[in-house]
Amino acid sequence: MSFVITTPLYYVNDKPHLGSIYTTLICDSIARYKRLTGADVIFITGVDEHGLKIQRTAKNKGVEPQFHCDEISDIFKQNWKNWDITHNKFVRTSSQKHEYIVKEFYNRVKKSDDIYMGVQKGWYCVGCEEFKDNPDNSPTHKCPIHQKTLEWKNEENLFFKLSKYQSQIEELIKEPAFIQPKERRNEIINFVSKGLKDFSISRTNVSWGISVPDIDNHTFYVWFDALLGYVSAISLDMKEPSLDESIDNGWPADIHLIGKDILRFHAVYWPAMLISAGMKVPKKVYGHGFLTREGQKMGKSLGNVLDPDILLSKYGKEAVRWYLLKDITLGQDGDFQNKRFVDIINNDLANTIGNLLNRTSSMSRKWFDNRVPSNEMLSKDNSLELYAKKTVENYFRHFNSYELDLAANVILSLAINTNLYLNEKQPWTLIKDEKNIPLVSNIIYNVLESTRIVGLLLLPILPNLSSKIDQQLGLLYNEKGSWKKQLDWGKLIHESILPAPNPVIEKLEYE
Ligand code: MSP
């Protein structure tokens, strides 16, 4: 079973910011989960290199656009390495194979009689690379996202007949699974109900782009070119890959995970382009929310941008992953607050999960000769076992519906409950009487087993912490595809040796 997931292709006007890290971490976690459940995952990410914005950025730096793109694209690749991103396709839209796919695709759309020459007049945001409504027609009108003055454009462009696909797009977006979450779907339904307008797919004033075959001075509009990056990502690594082969290699995508600002392109323009070219539409478009900082929009001009490199070196990737994936509901906006960040990491990871592991493994080592105790009385007390089973069920349900925060929260609840179980049973009092040894061994086994399941469930979300927990419990999971089976209760082998203690997570300090 194959599963194709994509991040947006990031503009190379600058190095990755926390917003791009956020989207990529979500995709990484989903990709890891799908792999663990046995899917053959194609995880696509990459960079969007053409267009006016990049052309100007390179010009301002005094370098050639290709030089600039090579530099930033390497920084993106290095960042994904630093954050342990497990993508297997990194696409660059300035590559030759991508150019070839764009041209082949364009020819198909042309054959469907969906291209014509027209005049494009309107207000343009270079930051968004998109025409915007400017109801008051004022030359100082600003883009609500970039807060930059819009530019007036009036030029001859090629147009794509989007209006022709009105009813097909209406049908598509009616399907609740196609656009998620629900609120985002409603926005798009509303937009489409006003009537789709044809959109321009070429430019005459942008040299940094893919040239339109047979038409002098026209390059493709950056969005027409960029969306096709998802297709060229899975095409064969050759200069002239065939579009049909890309289709055979896994198209369509199972999920495009994107920010809410680029939903129209993915849920309306893109499916229409694909239908025109005789290709399948993606199965799902998921629009996540925006990150703010201490309640304020993050922006260079506001001077409050969080540098992901600093977060990474100061707190480590596991802490940032946990905060972004557990504390923010996918689809809603999320706020990054320093104090809350430190509190959550200390409470959830250090005090609840780390402490549970330390106290149980040290009791076990002390009372049972550095080993996992016997579980022979297992049937007598199965409250924790039942709780763990329910946790696993809920976890799968949440992950399958992309409710990553809820999946993370059920893991945390299992850890909290396991700590409570321990406090209630008080094995440290029971052990004082020798006749209680079987009972204590059962309690400790249950707690260790529950902790093992906590560690396993963490694997797609916090891969490093998860493997540290395994190590601390003396576990080695080498068998491929065994993750789901290992989640069954009772897999911890009694008498197995527990290694020497080694703290798995450190507490963070306030700044
Ligand atoms: N190049 C286009 C995407 C083309 S996909 C074929 C683009 N690039 S982008 O770099 O500007 O944005 C990439 C993603 O980052 C978008 O999904 C955008 O929503 C997301 N984010 C940018 N700022 C963000 C936050 N502050 N918070 C969360 N994500 C945000 O658009």
262 C-beta closer than 6 A to ligand 1:
yes
pLDDT digits (tens, 9 = 90+) for 219-256: 999 999 999 999 999 988 888 888 888 888 889 999 99
- Choosing from 266, 289, 312, the residue where a domain stops is 289
Alpha-carbon separation of residue 303 from 143, 306, 312 (angstroms): 19, 9, 19
20 C-beta closer than 6 A to ligand 1:
yes
Name the closest-CA residue to atom 11, ligand 1: 11
- Rounded mean pLDDT of the chain? 93
Q: Is residue 221 part of a domain?
A: yes
Do you know the residue count of the chain?
A: 511
pLDDT over 90 (residue 101): yes
320 C-beta closer than 6 A to ligand 1:
no
Between CA 134 and CA 114 the distance in angstroms is: 27
Tell me what pLDDT residue 135 has: 64
Name the closest-CA residue to atom 23, ligand 1: 19
The pLDDT of 36-61, averaged and rounded, is 95
How much distance in Å is there from the Cα of 213 to the middle of ligand 1? Answer: 29
Per-residue burial over 207-230, b = 16 or more CB atoms within 10 Å of its CB, e = otherwise: ebbbebeeeeebbbbbbbbbbbbb
Do 65 and 54 touch, CB atoms closer than 8 A? Answer: yes
How much distance in Å is there from the Cα of 52 to the middle of ligand 1? Answer: 17
| Structural domain for 367, as ranges | 337-486
Q: Is residue 174 part of a domain?
A: yes
pLDDT over 70 (residue 377): no
Q: Is residue 103 part of a domain?
A: yes
Please enumerate, by residue number, every residue annotated as part of a binding site: 125, 128, 143, 146
Residue 371 bridge partners (DSSP): 497
User: Which residue in 221, 213, 256, 235 sits closest to 50, CA to CA?
Assistant: 221
Model pTM score: 0.95
Q: What's phi and psi for 142, nearest 5 deg?
A: -110, 155
How much distance in Å is there from the Cα of 199 to the middle of ligand 1? Answer: 21
Residues 196 and 80 in one domain: yes
23 C-beta closer than 6 A to ligand 1:
yes
Look up residue 25 and give its amino acid: L
Residues 20 and 164 in one domain: yes
Please enumerate, by residue number, every residue annotated as part of a binding site for Zn(2+): 125, 128, 143, 146
45 C-beta closer than 6 A to ligand 1:
no
Q: In degrees, to the nearest 5, what angle opens at C-alpha 438 toward C-alphas 432 and 440?
A: 55
pLDDT digits (tens, 9 = 90+) for 405-460: 999 999 999 999 999 999 999 999 999 999 999 999 999 999 999 999 999 999 99
Mutational pocket test of ligand 1: of 7, 13, 15, 20, the residue with most ligand atoms within 8 Å of the beta carbon: 20
Name the closest-CA residue to atom 4, ligand 1: 9
Q: Is residue 317 part of a domain?
A: no
Residues 476 and 350 in one domain: yes
Read off the DSSP letter of residue 114: -
pLDDT over 70 (residue 191): yes
Residues 400 and 278 in one domain: no
Residues 223 and 349 in one domain: no
Between CA 259 and CA 331 the distance in angstroms is: 9
258 C-beta closer than 6 A to ligand 1:
yes
CATH number of the structural domain spanning residue 140: 3.40.50.620
How much distance in Å is there from the Cα of 334 to the middle of ligand 1? Answer: 15
Q: Is residue 409 part of a domain?
A: yes
Residue 361 bridge partners (DSSP): none
Q: SS3 for 37?
A: coil
Tell me what pLDDT residue 506 has: 86
Q: Is residue 320 part of a domain?
A: no
pLDDT digits (tens, 9 = 90+) for 291-331: 998 887 776 666 778 899 999 999 999 999 999 999 999 99
8 C-beta closer than 6 A to ligand 1:
yes
Q: In 3-state terms, the chain is what percent helix, strand and coil (to 5)?
A: 50, 15, 35
- Total domains present in the chain: 2
pLDDT over 70 (residue 73): yes
pLDDT over 70 (residue 379): no
